[in-house]
Chain A
Amino acid sequence: MSEAGEGRVATVPAPSARRRKGLGPRQLLLAIGLAMVAVLGVVMIFGPQLAPYSPSATSLDALAPPSAQHWLGTDLIGRDVLSRLIVGGRTTLVITVAAVGLALAAGLVLGLWSGFVGGLTDQIVMRGLDIVFAFPVFLLAITVVAALGPTIPNLIMTIAIVYTPILARVVRGPVLSVKRWDHVEAARSVGVSEFWIMVRHVLPLVISPILVETSLTLANTIFTVTALSFLGLGPPPPDPNWGGMLAEARQFMELAPWTVIAPGAAIVFASLTFIMLANGLRDRLDVGGRQ
């Protein structure tokens, strides 16, 4: 067989023994991951409706420990921690998902285009991305936010810029081999346009590693977003977000430890969600792991 044929054997997922056995422990991982994604999705969509109190409503009951009225206690000026956690989660998650969504869109376009067209275009796009890639992610994010100011759209843009080169590389890799396969040549010979070949005949075959990498990027991004907010570079107060809640609570944690436990646990929950989703998807889709 030709070289193209060998490429196909290596990349097309073969039905594994594990998958035929039905719901193994790894499948369970994906199921749990999806269930956790659903929880985050509900918080993202219905946040303010779910919160028992207004996230900015103060009360005289300041720094109260968890109780029947306030499940997670109250903060320094008597605001309900649970309500702030839910509403703040929405802000944090919206920034995360929007940023990764933008980076994914840009990475797909750049990776597909440069990998498929190849030649000089590929060289220029990849060298350009290499320059962005040469900076430490966090330092780049701090620099851009410091210059543009910490607003939600700026945060989303910044994080999208930072993660675009990573996703573009993940897209480009498999495109380089898939574009040499016979079915692409066959489509070209019957006169299908290059654009349509790219979208219809190349993209579907490279989608699995992209899905896995995207969910790992989501896990990383939730750290970047909350760390920036923790450093005071997040969405401006008084609207809550997880990183900002931690930074506020850090100052009086001796008096009210529950105020630092809750937002931190929420961040861990969200990052574990995306990591489990990535591991579950990797197994389900038979993608060779990064690990």
Chain B
Amino acid sequence: MTAYVLRRLAQLVPVLFIASIGIFAMIYAVPGGPVGIMLGENANQAEIDALVHDLGLDRPIAIQYFDWLGSAVTGDFGVSLHSREPVIKLIGERLPATLQLAAVATLIAVLLGIPVALASALHPGSWLDRMLSGWSALALGVPTFWLGILLILLFAVELRWLPSASRYVPLWEDPLEALRHLIMPAATLGVYVSGVLARFLRASLVSQLGADYVRTARSKGLSRGRIVRVHVMRNALLPFITVIGLMMATFIGGAVVTEAVFTYPGLGRMLIQAISTRDYPLIQGCIIVMLVIYVAINLTVDVLYAYVDPRIEYS
């Protein structure tokens, strides 16, 4: 088990190494480089030379990279070009908003996805199955940003029940106000993720329902409900854990877009704003933090799966 965890960690090294080079290099790919961004187009040569020296850009590129990497590992991503504040502080302010959105969206996705998958797997080919698979196709076929806009049109513009631009209110401070601002973005993201969830879980359930142990359980007189609850769900949810990593990728993209639609002050929206103001240290910081969260969750899921299901070979 320990060997397996170590091997999984070792596999991450090339991934993170290449990612860090890419993220480091992106600032050099911009026309004018970092100096061009900071000084604008009208800077004279003396100013440019002074800044190049101050920033240490006249040193060999490999040394600059390891210097940057050393700081980044300790959480020092530099200072935002726009607000002049430390990037890590700005990220720390926005991260709770995104995590709160993600948590509520996950809850919605699970509450929608599991019943849909169960209902359609237990009655394959029925009108219910067809309706529900149509629904999950719709959840996947309608882009998140458009679903968000339609929700705003209905609940904010027509009915005036909810605000059209969402603020971040911590759930523990004012739960009602927090939900008022959170429910539309979380539903938008949750519906989308539930489509992916329902599709995978349904497939997993259908294959388990045809297994021998289900027939055995039937023949010894267990009720159908009990078989599903006690035997099938456990076995069907197990392979499902591996899909969580895949869903996380969908989740991150969905969250960035959802935050933009609802002008919700999370990490994704800060990333997009940083890109539009060409605030490269902030862009780099946001991308690193998102990537680390993504990689960490995937690693946890893999290890958890190997732990839960002893049949998995650790190779």
- Residues of A whose CB lies within 8 Å of any CB of B are 127, 131, 134-139, 142-143, 146-149, 219, 223, 226-227, 230-233, 243, 246, 250, 253-254, 257, 260, 264, 267-268, 271-272, 275, 291
Contacts and interface: CB of A to CB of B under 8 A. Distances in A.
A204 to B, nearest CB: 29
Interface in B162-220: 164, 199, 203
A137 B253 contact: yes
B143 A268 contact: yes
Interface string B120-152: 000000000000000001001111111001101
Contact of A291 (B19, B31, B203): B203
A257 B252 contact: no
A271 B283 contact: no
* Most A CB within 10 A of own CB, among B140, B199, B257: B257
- Where chain B touches its partner, the secondary structure class is helix
A143 B23 contact: yes
Nearest to B27: A147
Contact of A148 (B15, B29, B290, B291): B29
A226 B153 contact: no
B70 interface: no
Interface of B: 14-15, 18-19, 22-23, 25-27, 29-31, 137, 140-146, 149-150, 152-153, 157, 164, 199, 203, 248-249, 252-253, 256-257, 260-261, 271-272, 275-276, 283, 287, 290-291, 294-295
B291 A264 contact: no
Contacts of B141: 219, 268, 271-272, 275
A291 B149 contact: no
Among all A-B residue pairs, the 10 with the closest Cβ atoms: A138-B253, A264-B146, A147-B26, A136-B249, A147-B29, A134-B15, A146-B275, A136-B252, A230-B145, A260-B149
* Most B CB within 10 A of own CB, among A127, A250, A271: A250
Contacts of B29: 147-148
B120 to A, nearest CB: 11
Contacts of B203: 291
Contacts of B275: 142, 146, 232-233
Given A134-B295, A246-B149, 4 more contacts: A142-B275, A250-B261, A268-B143, A275-B141
A254 B152 CA distance: 9
B146 A232 contact: no
A138 B249 contact: yes
A146 B164 contact: no
Contacts of A134: 15, 295
Contacts of B25: 147
B142 A268 contact: yes
A227 B249 contact: no
B232 to A, nearest CB: 19
B249 A143 contact: no
B175 to A, nearest CB: 28
Nearest to A146: B275
A60 B186 CA distance: 39
B143 A271 contact: yes
Contacts of A260: 146, 149-150, 153
Contacts of B15: 131, 134-135
Contacts of B22: 143
Nearest to B246: A136
B253 A246 contact: no
A227 B272 contact: no
A166 B90 CA distance: 35
B69 to A, nearest CB: 17
B145 A254 contact: no
Contact of A142 (B164, B256, B295): B256
A267 B253 contact: no
A272 B199 CA distance: 16
A224 B25 CA distance: 24
Nearest to A147: B26
B151 to A, nearest CB: 12
Contact of B137 (A138, A230, A267, A275): A275
B249 A254 contact: no
B149 A264 contact: yes
B102 to A, nearest CB: 13
B260 to A, nearest CB: 6
A149 B37 CA distance: 13
7 contacts: A131-B15, A135-B15, A138-B249, A138-B256, A139-B256, A148-B29, A257-B157
